Amino acid sequence: MENIRIIRTNSPKQKPDEKALGFGAIFTDHMFVMDYDIEDGWHNPRVEPYGPFAVEPSMMVFHYGQAIFEGMKAYRNKNGDPVVFRPLNGIARLNRSAERLCIPQVDEKLVWQGLKTLLDIDKDWIPTAEGTALYIRPLIISMDCSLGVRPSHTYRFFIILSPVGAYYAEGIKPVKIYVTDEYVRAVKGGMGFAKTAGNYAASLYAAEKAKEKGYTQVLWLDGCQHKYVEEVGTMNIFFKIDDTLVTPTLEVGSILGGITRDSVVTMAEHMGYKVEERLISIDEVYEAHKQGRLKEVFGTGTAAVISPVGVMCWDDNVIEINNNEMGEFSKLIYNKITGIQRGTEEDIFGWVKNIYE
């Protein structure tokens, strides 16, 4: 495996107050970087001081959006060692996104090695206060300077780190979501399953409209019939109908296969709950609410972890879920997953990787 060069900063920054962390506004002292070209493949892996890159206005990523990213979190375990939640799943997903965007595959072992090296250097940035973590953002962008529409021949991969608190201002209090049947995020055959910048750009307009109406996020419906529930964009969605957990199927290909989503499905099944990954229409959700069977709604994501949904609005029809309070199951699963991440619950699925092992 290639040697990872290390260039340390001469001017380490002051660490933030852990109790006042928002999401993704502060960056650590270092970043991991490597480059790609056709002759050498991925090369020159290095950890260097966090800082600006030299870029040209003609770089393809600015024009055609060939960019993919990931999100993971690091914590400290009981012994104080840095641990990462399901990093290999995140790196594997990066390669699935890369394939869809015509970006060359990365060596997953080298990326994990690079991340471990970076975390070792910046480990003092891992916050330990309740609800905090060190958010890990790997990214690949196209670097060719050209205006022709084609896959780039050069790329840069980098990982930056950000100490974070809760993703939503609400913390783990229920959020309000607006169901849009006017705009769509992704369609079958599109890029919905990939973690690519364009999917997030596509979400902004409807999200701003929802914010104007007092809602935190948008719930997307399928792009063809505007009927089936897809995801929230920053998280996947679960409905607890009676005692069954229902979450939209990934089979259509327009939804991101969330790692927290997968963790919740696995943990819930292990706890004896019935979980259905299937098409679920927004009519079915509203009908279940009318019948008093919609017990809980919550989102899952690396950034958001578990985020209860207290209010939904679809077609001017506003419903309140579980009296706008976090439900029993949401609380249970939140405690279990954060317990596994922080090492206070047994990691029976082997999801937590110590960077020193």
Binding site for ligand COI (CB under 6 A): 71, 234, 301-303
Q: In the 8-state DSSP scheme, what is residue 326?
A: -
Q: In the 8-state DSSP scheme, what is residue 59?
A: B
Query: Which lies closer to ligand COI via its Cβ, residue 229 or residue 304?
Result: 304
Query: Which lies closer to ligand COI via its Cβ, residue 248 or residue 301?
Result: 301
Query: Which lies closer to ligand COI via its Cβ, residue 166 or residue 241?
Result: 166
Query: Which lies closer to ligand COI via its Cβ, residue 260 or residue 322?
Result: 260
Output the smallest distance, CB 319 to ligand COI, in A: 25
Which residue number is nearest to ligand COI in terms of Cβ? Answer: 71
Q: Give the residue among 354, 41, 62, 27 at the shortest CA–CA distance from 159.
A: 27
The angle, 0 to 180 degrees and rounded to 10, between the axes of the packed helices 328-342 and 259-270 is 110
Tokens of 78: 């009981």
Query: Which lies closer to ligand COI via its Cβ, residue 114 or residue 301?
Result: 301
Output the smallest distance, CB 214 to ligand COI, in A: 21
Output the smallest distance, CB 237 to ligand COI, in A: 13
Output the smallest distance, CB 163 to ligand COI, in A: 15
Helix, strand, or coil (residue 180) = strand
Output the smallest distance, CB 293 to ligand COI, in A: 29
Tokens of 201: 């750009």
DSSP H or E run through 83 = strand 82-85
- Dihedrals phi, psi of 82, to nearest 5 degrees: -70, 135
Output the smallest distance, CB 304 to ligand COI, in A: 6
Query: Which lies closer to ligand COI via its Cβ, residue 151 or residue 190?
Result: 190
Tokens of 268: 């819930």
Tokens of 231: 């995801």
Output the smallest distance, CB 68 to ligand COI, in A: 11
Output the smallest distance, CB 275 to ligand COI, in A: 21
**CA 253 to CA 256: how far, in whole Å?**
8
Tokens of 160: 């930056």
Query: Which lies closer to ligand COI via its Cβ, residue 191 or residue 294?
Result: 191
- Dihedrals phi, psi of 197, to nearest 5 degrees: -50, -40
Q: Give the residue among 216, 194, 218 at the shortest CA–CA distance from 205.
A: 218
Output the smallest distance, CB 231 to ligand COI, in A: 10
DSSP H or E run through 340 = helix 328-342
> Integer distance in angstroms from the first to the last C-alpha of the chain?
17
* Neighbour-count burial for 221-246, b at 16+ CB within 10 Å, e otherwise: bbbeeeebbbbbbbbbbbbbbeeebb
Query: Which lies closer to ligand COI via its Cβ, residue 142 or residue 234?
Result: 234
Query: Which lies closer to ligand COI via its Cβ, residue 104 or residue 301?
Result: 301
Neighbours of 274 (CB within 10 A): 11
Q: In the 8-state DSSP scheme, what is residue 126?
A: -
